[in-house]
Structure 1
Amino acid sequence: MLRSGAGALLLACAASSVNAATPAATPVLNDIADAYAISLGAKAGALNYFVSRRAPGSSDDTAVSALVAFHGHPRDAGRTLAAGELAARQAGRVADTLIVAPLFQVASPASERCQSAGVPAAQPGDALWTCSSWMAGGTAKGSSVTSFAALDQLLADLKRRWPRLQTVTVTGFSAGAQFVQRYIAFANPPAGLSVRYVVADPSSWLYFDDVRPAPQRNGQPVDWRSCTQTSGESACSYVFAAPATPQQCPDYASWKYGIADMPATLGRTASEARQRYAQADVAYLQGALDMGDGPGTAYRLLDKTCGAQLQGPYRLQRGLAYLAYDQHMLSPQKKRSLTVVPGCAHNVSCVFPSAEAAPVLFPTTGR
C-alpha cells in the first residue's frame, strides 16, 4: 500500500518546505542523551549507544517501548536522536518510549570522511568499523562480530536495563536504513521483545533473487522519472526480471545488493534470510522530494554503482519499486506499506517528526 499525506503522489512531490533542504542544527550528543556501552567481546570492543534523557515526571518504570534509530553515513547520531525525540514528543510518546541512538565508531583519520559535529570520537576500547562496512553487516576490526550481531546484543542490553520493555521499533535513515533493511533478514533479537522495523530513505536495497524492477504503464515501458510525475490516478507498475545484459553489471546480485556471495559471518543461508525477512514486521518511509540531484537530495551520497542503478535512479524511485517487489514477490501476505512524506527530501529532521511518519514510528497497538 502506498500512503501519502497529500493524497496523491503528484501533490506530495510538488510540495516544498524549508525543512526539505535545510537540515536542523546539529546537537551535541552528550548534551541531549545519556551514554551507554556494551562489550561485544574482548577482540571486538564496545558498542556505544545513547538514550534520550527522560521527560520530567517519567521514570524507567514507564518505559515499555523503544525507538532505536540508526544514523546515516555521516554518523549523525545526534541529529538522528533529536529527530526521533521530536517525533516522540509530537506523537505523545515521550513518557513510555525510550529514544535510542547507537553509534558505529570509525577510527581517525578514516573517520574524517564520515564524521558529524557533536558526535564523540572513537576512544580506546571501542568497537571499530569503516565508514561503510557497518551498513552491510561487516565485522568489527580484529573480530568476527558483525554489526548485525552488535544490534542483537544492544537489544538484549536494553531489555536487561529496562525489563518492562515490550516493543522495540528499529529504524534507520539513509545509510542507517540500508543497515536496518539488511539486518532484518539476519536478526536474532532477545526473547521477550516484540521487534518491528521501519526502513527510511535508503540508498540501496537487498533483493532476495536475481530479478530487478522495470517500470511500465499500461503494459508499456516508461522512463523511471515519470513514475513520480503522475497526473492523478497512479504511479507506475513494475515488472520484475533478470537484466537482459547481466554481463554489464556482473555483481548486481551479489551482497549487499543481492544474496549471492553472502559473508559466512552472517550465519544464515539465502533461503533462511529470505524467510526471515518475509515474516518480519516491516514498514517503509520515503521523503517525497528525495529524488533527482537537486538541493536537499544528498545526491553526492547516493549509491551510483551499477548494482544500485538497476534498482532505480534515485531513492524515491528505488523505494517505490522495492515496495512493489515486496508486495508481489517477497511477502504478499503481509500487505506492507510505504508512507511518502510530503515536503521532505533527504533529511531525517523533516521525515521522522512529520505527521505522516508518526503512526509508522509509533503505532498505537501494543501500548
Structure 2
Amino acid sequence: MWLTVLWLTASGALAAERGHCGRQAGPQCLHSFALPAGAGQMHYYASRAPRPGDPHGPQTALLILHGHPRDVGRSFEAGLQAARAAGRLPRTLVVAPLYQVAPAQAGRCSMPDTPGAQPGDALWSCAGWLAGAPSLGAHPLGAFAALDALLGELARQWPSLRSVTLVGFSAGAQMLQHSIGFAADPPAGVALRYVIADPGSWLYFDPVRPVPLRGERTVPWEACGTGGCTWRFDVPATSPACAYDHWKYGTQSLPGYLPRTGAQARAHYAAAQVDYLEGALDSSADKGTFYPILDKSCAAMLQGPFRLQRGLAYAAYEQAVLKPRTPRRMVIVPGCAHDVACVLGADAARPVLFAPPP
C-alpha cells in the first residue's frame, strides 16, 4: 500500500513539474505582455505561471537569451537543465524571451520549433535585435529597452523576485554584453547579475585592442593555442574602412537610439555584476564551433581568431584597462564547444550561474 502511495506521490510531483513547465518548452509555457509606447507584444517562456498577488513565490530568476537562430525553446530547456542539476529549480523562475522577426525574414534566423509571429507582435530584423536596434513598424522600441521592460514585467508578475541573473549565449551573449552599459535601472528591490557565454564579438569601451605576447615578444594569434599568451593593449593601425571602434565593436558612432554616451556606458558597465563563460573547445574551425557563422570582419578579427581567444583577451582587457569595480570571473568550461546545453549544464558553470545575489 505504501509503495502505491509513494508512486502516486512521485508521479504526481513529476506531473506537476511538467504542468508548470519545469521539464520542457511548450505552448502552455509561453506568455506575452505589452511593450511600452504601443510597440506591440513580446513573448517569453517561463517555468511557472505568473502569480501577481503571491508574495511567497520565487525570489530568484534565471533569464536565458537565445542565439541568432532564435532557438528560444532550446535556450529555455538549457536553463531548466542547469537549474535542475544545481537543485535550484523548485525555487528559481527560469525565463527565456523571444525576439520575434517578421515572417518574410524569419526563415533566415529560426529553428523549426521557434514560435511564429502573431498579429500585434513587436518585430525585429534577424540582425537588428542583437545590436539593440529598434523594432520595426510605426511604434519602434529598442531591443535593449524591450529587455528592460521584460524585467519590469517579471517583477510585476512575480513580486517575490529579489534577484535576476541574465544569461546570454552566442548572439544572445553579444546582445546582452552590449546592453549592460545602456540598461535602465532595475525594478525596485531587484538586483541584477549578468553572465556572458561564448559571444561572437565584444563591445570594447576603449580604442585599444589585444596584441598577443609570449614573454615580451609579439606573436601571431596562432601561437597562443587555447592559452599560453598574455596581451598588450594598443591602438591598432588599420584602414578607416575597418571601423573597428565603431558600434557594435566600440563606442564610436553610437546610434541615436542608445540612451547614453560612450563614457557613460563605460562607467555603467564597469559598475555592473558580470561574469563570463567560454567553451574550452570553442577555439578552432572544427565541427561543433559553428565557425562558418563566426563574425570574421576586420573589426571582429582584431579581437582574436576564435570565440575562446576573444573571450580570454576581453577578460585581460578588463583587468588592464577597464578595471571594473568588483572582480569578474572567466570560467572555461571543459569539453564544450559552441553548445548552449553543454556550457550552461556543465558543473563548471554552476557557481557562475547560481552565485549569491550582489
What is the TM-score with the length of structure 2 in the denominator? 0.88
Identity of aligned residues (%): 50
For residue 305 of structure 1, the aligned residue among 285, 297, 300 is: 297
Structure 2 Cα separation of the partners of residues 229 and 366 of structure 1:
31
Within the alignment, does 1:116 sit opposite 2:108 as a pair?
no
Offset at residue 228 of structure 1 (A):
3.2
Which SS does the other structure have where 1:334 is aligned?
Answer: coil
Say if 2:36 and 2:149, in contact at 8 Å, map to a contact too: no
Q: Which residue of 2 aligns with 1:159?
A: 155
Bigger CA drift: 337-346 or 216-225?
Answer: 216-225
Pairing 1:1-367 to 2, within 5 Å after superposition: 29-30=25-26, 34-41=29-36, 43-53=38-48, 61-142=56-137, 143-188=139-184, 189-230=186-227, 235-247=228-240, 249=242, 251-363=243-355, 365-366=356-357
Query: Cα 1:53–1:43, aligned 2, differ >3 Å: closer, same or farther?
Result: closer
Structure 2 Cα separation of the partners of residues 100 and 60 of structure 1:
19
Listed one character per residue, the Cα deviations across residues 219-252 of structure 1 (whole Å, up to 9, x for unaligned) are: 111221332355xxxx211111111234351x11
Query: Cα 1:38–1:228, aligned 2, differ >3 Å: closer, same or farther?
Result: same
Structure 2 Cα separation of the partners of residues 229 and 85 of structure 1:
30
Structure 2 Cα separation of the partners of residues 224 and 78 of structure 1:
36
Query: Cα 1:28–1:131, aligned 2, differ >3 Å: closer, same or farther?
Result: farther
Unpaired stretches in structure 1, ≥5 consecutive residues: 1-26
Listed one character per residue, the Cα deviations across residues 33-78 of structure 1 (whole Å, up to 9, x for unaligned) are: 6222121245421111110247xxxx98341100110000000001
Query: Cα 1:217–1:180, aligned 2, differ >3 Å: closer, same or farther?
Result: same
Structure 2 Cα separation of the partners of residues 334 and 226 of structure 1:
31
Bigger CA drift: 102-111 or 41-50?
Answer: 41-50
Q: Which has the higher contact order (CA 8 A, sep 6+)?
A: 1
Which SS does the other structure have where 2:213 is aligned?
Answer: strand
Query: Cα 1:366–1:280, aligned 2, differ >3 Å: closer, same or farther?
Result: closer
Query: Cα 1:114–1:336, aligned 2, differ >3 Å: closer, same or farther?
Result: same
Structure 1 Cα separation of the partners of residues 225 and 325 of structure 2:
26
Say if 2:61 and 2:163, in contact at 8 Å, map to a contact too: yes
Which SS does the other structure have where 1:352 is aligned?
Answer: helix
Listed one character per residue, the Cα deviations across residues 74-124 of structure 1 (whole Å, up to 9, x for unaligned) are: 000010110110000000100111110000000112100101122210011
Offset at residue 331 of structure 1 (A):
2.1
What is the TM-score with the length of structure 1 in the denominator? 0.86
Listed one character per residue, the Cα deviations across residues 153-199 of structure 1 (whole Å, up to 9, x for unaligned) are: 10011011110100100111000000110111011122211000000
Q: Which runs of 4+ in 1 moved over 4 A?
A: none
Which SS does the other structure have where 1:195 is aligned?
Answer: strand
Q: AA paired with 1:240?
A: F
Q: Size of the alignment, in residue pairs?
A: 330
